Structure 1
Amino acid sequence: KWMVENWTWVFYYCGIYMLVIFGGQHFMQNRPRFQLRGPLIIWNTMLAMFSIMGAFRTAPELLHVLRHYGLFHSVCVPSYIEQDRVCGFWTWLFVLSKLPELGDTIFIVLRKQPLIFLHWYHHITVLIYSWFSYTEYTSSARWFIVMNYCVHSVMYSYYALKAARFNPPRFIAMIITSLQLTQMIVGCAINVWANGFLKTHGRQSCNISQTNINLSIAMYFSYFVLFARFFYKTY
């Protein structure tokens, strides 16, 4: 209830985040970089474990709904948060987790690594959209949550191994970026379906607002463009 009534606090959090990361870059400009290898291993391992648990607790609900009720239910009926207590709890944790995930950028700043636009833009927009969607019990968000948990399970596991100097093969990084691109394509497709269902059945049958669809499709499309550009320049 607190998050529903006070979700706009997220804009203050984003403002503080921007001040910290860009102020931090200025502060670190003439200072030696921190190694932070140990904390980085712990950080990425914790986020990997959290994402893996989240995927195992939310993906079965989506698969069950698709198998027994179909695509319309998966996009338009928020039973994952209204009726499934386990999935609802992990949805709440997912939304909350977008705040501590901002800590990824702190490591980049303190280790004086390149801070690209894609990184901080992605963190801010996901945080804002997640909190906003939670206030509406957005039905299509079950897709976005499951995809994010699954991709982050692989991504943070890779980061943890890399921080521990296991040096996974380069193609693993390519696979992760490919998974992220696939996530953006599916996200856009879900929003197109949601838009069609909303126009056909109305808001009473499809629990998603037109504003949410517009914001979500703009967000996913921008991610696709940025990740595709990153893939092209990196690989």
Structure 2
Amino acid sequence: MKVSLLEKLWTVWNPSILDSIDGRPISSSIRGLFTDFEYDRLPTNPYVAALLRPEVVLGLIVLYLVSKSPLQWAMKVTRFDSTSGAFHTFIALHNLGLAVFSWICAWNSWTAVLLHVHQFGLWSTYCDPDGRLWQNGLGVWSTIFYISKYYEFLDTWVLVLKGKDASFLQVYHHAGIVFCMWGAVASQSAWLLFVVLLNSVIHTLMYLYFFIKTISPTTEIKIAKYLTMAQITQFMVGITCTLGVLYMGDSCDSQSSRFALVCLHVYGWGLIALFMAFAKRKYKKS
């Protein structure tokens, strides 16, 4: 098979991280995500397998939602110093690490999707009827990106450790994306390409912004408000571009995948409203 110039220039780093033991979706129905979940088909990696179990996912979300009070109690008992240099360094490295990680996800996922479009066309990419796109890069990076959402709970905990209150927007954002991405990964949903492609780019810029503000709080970054608008835009673009999956139904994607997509749409409209309210408050004088 002749290799194109695009394939020579772009390659996908495809780590060996499976989302099922046989390479097929764990769930294809709504019941398959919950009461009929096929535990025997979970991947052999115990950490990935644990984060695909529905009871673990829901349990971790609940723990995240109630984590504020225990964390405040632990701070009081240990007399945690949020002004220490070590904690400040940790926050900077946390933000820089997530910026680099998001860029790596963006590079590899964009490469995988563009190569697939080049080789097999838009229809095969959009619905991925034979699962080829999922197996050739999208699945690995969607799974990795999904797992990283648990680490991002630290964003909220850092605020608590600094003695600040996490906004409803932030808590809603972190809890909701975990649930939606879990359902999509368990269903091997090709529509996740819109989530991973867009969100990885936005997060690269967002965490780079946080890193700069951490090491230099007085630095004025005038384009910050455009980053908020970019976040709102990604939600609108993602929702619009995935409507076709719901319209085509079983001919494009499974029932469980469409259920996760509906959850994402509801969640996404909530984020749009919350981000618009945030932008109005923060930048009304700009």
Q: Give the whole-Å Cα distance in 2 for the aligned partners of 1:5 and 1:109.
A: 28
After the TM superposition, which residues 35-184 of structure 1 pair with which residues of structure 2 at under 5 Å, given as runs?
35=83, 36-66=87-117, 69-77=120-128, 78-82=131-135, 84=136, 86-165=137-216, 167-184=218-235
Q: Give the whole-Å Cα distance in 2 for the aligned partners of 1:205 and 1:18.
A: 35
Cα pair 1:62 1:143 within 8 Å, conserved: no
Q: Give the whole-Å Cα distance in 2 for the aligned partners of 1:67 and 1:178.
A: 30
1:71 Cα deviation after fit: 4.4
SS in 2 for 1:107: helix
After TM superposition, the structure 1 stretch with the greater mean CA deviation from structure 2, 118-127 or 108-117, is: 108-117
Instruction: Give the 3 Å change call, closer, same or farther, for CA 5–179 of structure 1 in structure 2.
Output: closer
Equivalent position to 2:273, from 220, 225, 232: 225
How much identity, in percent, do the aligned residues show?
22
Q: Does 1:12 align with 2:59?
A: yes
**Corresponding letter in the other structure for 2:180:** Y
Q: Does 1:186 align with 2:237?
A: yes
Cα pair 2:160 2:166 within 8 Å, conserved: yes
After TM superposition, the structure 1 stretch with the greater mean CA deviation from structure 2, 170-179 or 47-56, is: 170-179
Bigger Rg, structure 1 or 2: 2
Instruction: Give the 3 Å change call, closer, same or farther, for CA 197–72 of structure 1 in structure 2.
Output: farther
Partner of 2:264: 216
Structure 1 residue runs without a partner (length 5+): none
Q: Give the whole-Å Cα distance in 1 for the aligned partners of 2:126 and 2:183.
A: 17
- Tell me how large the CA RMSD over aligned residues is: 2.5
TM-score (norm 2): 0.72
Cα pair 1:54 1:90 within 8 Å, conserved: yes
1:178 Cα deviation after fit: 1.1
Q: Give the whole-Å Cα distance in 1 for the aligned partners of 2:123 and 2:219.
A: 40
Number of positions where the alignment pairs a residue of Structure 1 with one of Structure 2: 229
After TM superposition, the structure 1 stretch with the greater mean CA deviation from structure 2, 218-227 or 168-177, is: 168-177
Q: Give the whole-Å Cα distance in 2 for the aligned partners of 1:187 and 1:180.
A: 11
TM-score (norm 1): 0.86
Cα pair 1:133 1:212 within 8 Å, conserved: yes
Cα pair 1:139 1:207 within 8 Å, conserved: no
Q: Give the whole-Å Cα distance in 1 for the aligned partners of 2:104 and 2:56.
A: 27
Cα pair 1:122 1:223 within 8 Å, conserved: yes
Q: Give the whole-Å Cα distance in 2 for the aligned partners of 1:233 and 1:33.
A: 30
After TM superposition, the structure 1 stretch with the greater mean CA deviation from structure 2, 220-229 or 207-216, is: 207-216
SS in 1 for 2:166: coil
**Corresponding letter in the other structure for 1:164:** I
1:226 Cα deviation after fit: 0.8
Instruction: Give the 3 Å change call, closer, same or farther, for CA 33–191 of structure 1 in structure 2.
Output: farther
Q: Give the whole-Å Cα distance in 2 for the aligned partners of 1:228 and 1:71.
A: 32
Q: Give the whole-Å Cα distance in 1 for the aligned partners of 2:54 and 2:211.
A: 31
Cα pair 1:158 1:168 within 8 Å, conserved: no
Cα pair 1:58 1:146 within 8 Å, conserved: yes
Q: Give the whole-Å Cα distance in 2 for the aligned partners of 1:45 and 1:165.
A: 13
1:57 Cα deviation after fit: 0.5
Q: Give the whole-Å Cα distance in 2 for the aligned partners of 1:90 and 1:210.
A: 20
Cα pair 2:138 2:193 within 8 Å, conserved: no
User: For 1:196-218, what per-residue CA distance to the aligned partner results, in whole angstroms no more than 9, with x for missing partners?
Assistant: 232xxxx2443564322321211
